[in-house]
Structure 1
Amino acid sequence: MSNSELTLTQQGGAALKRGIFSDNMISWVVTIGMTALILIFLVMPLWAILVLGFSAPDGFGLGNFTRTFTTARFWTLVLNSLGMALTCTVIVTVMAYIYAYALQRANVPFKPLLRMAALVPLFAPSLVQAQGLVLLLGRNGILNRELNLDIDIYGFWGVVIANALYAFPYAFLILSAALAVSDARLHESAEVLGAGPWRIFRTQTLPATRYGLAAACFVVFNLVMTDFGNPMVIGGDFNVLATEVYNQVIGQAQFGLGAVIGIVLLLPAVFAKLLEKRLTRQQQALLTSQARPMVAKASPRRDLFLGLYTYLVLALIMSVIVIVVLASFVRLWPYNMTFTLQHYQFDVQNGTAPLWNSVKISLATAVIGVAIAGLTAIAVQKFKNPLTGPLAFLAILPSAVPGMVLGLGYVLAFNNPSNPLHFLYGSFTLIIILSVYYNHAHAFLISSTSLKQISGSFDEASTMLGGSVVTTLRKITLPLLWPTLLGVGVLFFMRTMVSLSAVIFLTTPATQVASISVLQLSDRGAVNQAAAFSVCIMLIVVLALLIVRGILWAFGAKNITLIR
């Protein structure tokens, strides 16, 4: 080492010593700040639900639970919810597995089109699927009227089909990722030993993707078990726990009973999340450094069958979306099918205000969410102190909390005059904060994954040259991380635009959002105007995706996945 290099190193070490206190202070401030925010805006609302659920006139007790559990209606709702959720989980997992297998392991034409079609339900509120089914097969549905099918879509099967279409892209993304990982050498060895396609699938492909299957099952179950929009629109006399929470709180102001049902909804979600974590911990690496990527070989019969299947699923997914778009352009569905743009004038209560409210809330959520999720990931991955472990646990906790339960917790926590943050209740700010923490887990995991991929040698070099923590983050970490953070911003924006169950309890006439307007218009029978609102939501989400994709393309970051 030359004298100049030695001097530089010594100066860097001296700078490091001088900066130990300040760097340590920064790490503690960031860690404590992120932990405090999660405790206030996530743990406190959940605690409020638990406290109210166990509150009784004579103190704490099980009175609310006893009254709820001893009614026949409650157990009917439990059986309805479990039956619907389990049926939907099986259907979605099988459908999504075959669809993902076709795109990853077969030669099906126009794969990009099929992949994009599978993700279309993500761009719309969950109740759009129910909207489309009602327009197709409802009492005044176009197919029922034109073909005299006399199909009754309302009830159990209507909710199952609508929720299946809603949850399909989530299962597809998980299973597609699981099927994308494969070592071609194993399949070639099996073929050399005389194994046929079915045996290879049964002994190699299926076991290798069992953890992806488990994750897909848990995600779908949680989504449909706690979904609120589809059962409200197409459930008819078929009620589930999620709709009962809404009825108890909004319809009858029974917050205690609503809290009990919220706790009941929270338990299976937490149990499924813990079980998923336990199973995925057992997963071992499927690829080694000598692995060769799998290349689909031509098989006319298999490719024909899977091609027909994928395009049938595409037609099913797109039919409910296209029919909603079509209904927004006709004068009176289904009696007067002449073309009109009158429904886009939004001559209803509040006009276009809910739509612009949603855009503003989503943009603010994206900016604040990126900052909070990014800083939380940095604190967990870059700063090591006694708080980073608990912070990492709290950061992923929202993934086990249903949106409706969290929204109810916000009402109970922030509508309390004794809470110093009571002034936030009824404001856009509280809706933005709720949206940030409802989607926090996914954003944190994406940011953490990208941070892990940045070599620690960058930080070491910066430290040796006397760079502080802030300098390292500003000049090294953030320039490498910005494409991922932009993708995280899109995630926040998209999910906030289409969110329904999480914000249903927080909106007021002054803070109305577009997804709630769709629900209220559908409930009033204004199907054409509800369809127009849904179309506008989808267009805004797609436009945001295209803008961000253009930014990434312009800066050369073309391989960043915006939808994860």
Structure 2
Amino acid sequence: MSVRSEPLPAAATRGRFLSDRMVAGLLTAAVALPLALFFLLPLLSILARSFETTAGFGLGNFSSALSTARFWQLVANSAAMSAMSTVLGVTLAYAYAYGLQRACVPGRSLLRIVALMPLFAPSMVQAQGLILLLGRNGALNRFFDAGIEIYGFWGTAIANLLYAFPYAFLILSASLAIADGRLYESATVMGAGPFRIFRTVTLPATRFGLAAACFVVFTLVMTDFGNPMVIGGDFNVLATEIYNQVIGQAQFGLGAVIGVVLLVPAVIAKVLEKRITRRQHALLTAQSRPLVIKPALKRDIGFALYLYTVAALMLSVVGIVVFASFVRLWPYNMELTLKHYQFDVQNGIAPLWNSIAVAIATAFLGVLLAGAAAIVVNKFRNPLTGTLSLLAVLPSAVPGMVLGLGYVLTFNSPSNPLNFLYGGFFLIIVLNVYYNHSQAFLISSTSLGQIGDSFDEASTMLGAGVLRTLFKVTLPLIWPTLLGIGVFYFMRAMVSLSAVIFLITPSTQVAAVSVLQLSDRGALNQAAAFSVCIMATVVGCLLLVRLILVLAGAKNVTLIR
């Protein structure tokens, strides 16, 4: 006996179509409007303010800035420091990733966690650690009379190297994780040695990842604000100059000019990265055989020494910060104490609770907005999806300080109807959302792309509309990814400094800014205690969510991408 399904009545089909079209339109508007208000408008404000002079619109601000020797010295400082950090950082990260992926070294999980540690703390924690180790009152200079001078160019370059190391490591580790074993077998049969195989097979196969790592690290270092402020001394860069001009002298026009200058290399690096990685071809085909890493005593011992040496150095930088938070007065009184965790400083412990509240709100709002953007772009094709897709990934090319300054220029204007938001937590939350929007959008889109169309088709054939399909089919399939994105947003909001520095008021102080201000005042112990609390909060969040995923059976979801 066969059962023939009757088609839906024409009126019902038409009603559902109109309903689906309305849902798609509302979702598209809900994604497009916040993107325009809280990302595109601040960028346009930066551009407009850079051309605004007392005599009207013109190039006066640019000619005034570009005609001074100090400006070009700042450009040279930023470029030289960024280039040095990029070359050293990518080289060290490549060797580290290669050792983990292509050698048999014990404790690889631990070594990977150590490589990712800078992600759990504000950027200037690296500078804090270097000062405590190598500064004038650092452990080596104080107790061993090493005579090391860490402040200035080299201190800033090394601190930024450590800060950007995990970003390069993640990219290069992914590039080295996949390889066609046939190529290596052929090279070995033809008599090629390990170095020649690396030069002719491995390096060409990873050149796209290497280029992407260089562009990402250069952009991060060029626009970083925390490390130069803490350890730079008399060595100034463009990022610190924006802060000095806007906060110190209220020179918003000049700050906007420097913001545009910082924006240019970031955009160029992003465009080049996209063009180069677009040319990357598949390394594995249906005929490929995975590369099997076999033990080799000399190679494995050599990489084990390198990996554990680098890990020890990274641990020492973070470890000295943790230790200093328990010392009564570094380096004069090394008695252990918990007094610095009483937070008897201005605002007390309130900035930490503010950071946690902001991070939680950022996680919820970020998942909602980034997830909705990915759903609209991937599921609801319309004339706006192309533009929305471009705007959704564009924030990755915008430095945090530039976007933060754009928020000041946009929402601090009395003529803006949204001026009432200025000075509150909401703008800080939204800024964190859109500053990190690109990564969250791309992760959501990748997850959606892994869901076959058959699920949507089956739901539609059963009479469900797009909204019901979304809640009953799509979201249940991608919830582990959305949870991972929430963790990503929480972590980034907890450690964010450069993006929010211009929006902070005494009533909206966050922990990362407290670390900077305490370091600037020389209160190293209190700054270290705040840093430890930030790191402990982030790690606690990661462990909690990992436990949730394990209990739910989603054990293979990666929380840090």
Give the distance between the partners of 1:192 and 1:283, measured in 2 at CA.
27
Q: Which residue of 1 aligns with 2:415?
A: 418
Q: Which residue of 2 aligns with 1:510?
A: 507
Alignment root-mean-square deviation, CA: 1.0
Q: Which residue of 2 aligns with 1:454?
A: 451
- What residue identity is the alignment partner of 2:125? V
CA shift for structure 1 position 12:
8.7
Q: Which residue of 1 aligns with 2:234?
A: 237
- What residue identity is the alignment partner of 2:46? I
Answer yes or no: is 1:408 the counterpart of 2:408. Answer: no
Q: Which residue of 2 aligns with 1:385?
A: 382
CA shift for structure 1 position 304:
1.2
Question: Structure 1, residues 328-382: CA drift from partner, whole Å, max 9, x if none?
Answer: 0010000000010000000011100000000000000000000000000000000
Answer yes or no: is 1:69 the counterpart of 2:66. Answer: yes
Q: How many residues align?
A: 561
CA shift for structure 1 position 4:
2.6
Q: Which residue of 2 aligns with 1:18?
A: 15
Within a 5 Å distance, the mapping from 1:253-268 to structure 2 comes to 253-268=250-265
CA shift for structure 1 position 15:
4.7
Question: Structure 1, residues 455-491: CA drift from partner, whole Å, max 9, x if none?
Answer: 0110011111111001101111000000000000000
Give the distance between the partners of 1:178 and 1:27, measured in 2 at CA.
37
CA shift for structure 1 position 114:
0.3
Answer yes or no: is 1:520 the counterpart of 2:513. Answer: no
Give the distance between the partners of 1:26 and 1:181, measured in 2 at CA.
41
Q: Which residue of 2 aligns with 1:189?
A: 186
Q: Which residue of 2 aligns with 1:530?
A: 527
Q: Which residue of 2 aligns with 1:555?
A: 552
Give the distance between the partners of 1:313 and 1:326, measured in 2 at CA.
20
Q: Which residue of 2 aligns with 1:145?
A: 142
CA shift for structure 1 position 190:
1.4
- Contact 1:175–1:212 (CA<8 Å) still a contact in 2? yes
Give the distance between the partners of 1:537 and 1:204, measured in 2 at CA.
42
Give the distance between the partners of 2:89 and 2:512, measured in 1 at CA.
24
- What residue identity is the alignment partner of 2:215? F
CA shift for structure 1 position 401:
0.3
- Contact 1:52–1:259 (CA<8 Å) still a contact in 2? yes
Q: Which residue of 1 aligns with 2:215?
A: 218
Change (3 A) 1:4 1:17: farther
Question: Structure 1, residues 371-429: CA drift from partner, whole Å, max 9, x if none?
Answer: 00000000000000000000000000100000000000000000001011100000000
Give the distance between the partners of 1:71 and 1:3, measured in 2 at CA.
85
Q: Of 464, 480, 490, which aligns to 1:483?
A: 480
- What residue identity is the alignment partner of 2:519? S
Give the distance between the partners of 2:407 and 2:90, measured in 1 at CA.
33
Moved over 6 A (4+): none
Question: Structure 1, residues 108-157: CA drift from partner, whole Å, max 9, x if none?
Answer: 11100100000001000000000000001101001111111110000000
SS at match of 2:104: coil
Give the distance between the partners of 1:42 and 1:235, measured in 2 at CA.
31
Give the distance between the partners of 2:470 and 2:9, measured in 1 at CA.
17
- Contact 1:229–1:519 (CA<8 Å) still a contact in 2? yes
Q: Which residue of 1 aligns with 2:463?
A: 466
CA shift for structure 1 position 16:
4.1
Q: Which residue of 2 aligns with 1:4?
A: 3
Change (3 A) 1:466 1:154: same
Mean alpha-carbon deviation: is it higher for 180-189 or for 505-514?
180-189
Q: Which residue of 2 aligns with 1:129?
A: 126
CA shift for structure 1 position 18:
3.0
SS at match of 1:337: strand
SS at match of 1:4: coil
- Contact 1:12–1:463 (CA<8 Å) still a contact in 2? no
- What residue identity is the alignment partner of 2:5? L
Within a 5 Å distance, the mapping from 1:421-432 to structure 2 comes to 421-432=418-429
- What residue identity is the alignment partner of 1:346? F
Q: Of 95, 105, 112, which aligns to 2:92?
A: 95
Give the distance between the partners of 1:14 and 1:544, measured in 2 at CA.
50
- What residue identity is the alignment partner of 1:409? G
SS at match of 1:385: coil
Question: Structure 1, residues 476-526: CA drift from partner, whole Å, max 9, x if none?
Answer: 100000000000000000000000000000000000000000000000010
Change (3 A) 1:61 1:183: same
CA shift for structure 1 position 182:
0.6
Structure 2: give runs of 5+ residues left out of the alignment: none
- What residue identity is the alignment partner of 1:317? M
Question: Structure 1, residues 173-229: CA drift from partner, whole Å, max 9, x if none?
Answer: 000000001111111121112221111111111011111001100100000000000
SS at match of 1:6: coil
Give the distance between the partners of 1:339 and 1:102, measured in 2 at CA.
38
Q: Which residue of 2 aligns with 1:171?
A: 168
Answer yes or no: is 1:273 the counterpart of 2:234. Answer: no
Q: Of 439, 442, 458, which aligns to 1:445?
A: 442
Structure 1: give runs of 5+ residues left out of the alignment: none
Identity of aligned residues (%): 68
TM-score by structure 1 length? 0.98
- What residue identity is the alignment partner of 2:494? M
Q: Which residue of 1 aligns with 2:338?
A: 341
CA shift for structure 1 position 298:
1.5
Answer yes or no: is 1:119 the counterpart of 2:116. Answer: yes
Q: Which residue of 1 aligns with 2:200?
A: 203
Change (3 A) 1:12 1:194: farther
TM-score by structure 2 length? 0.99
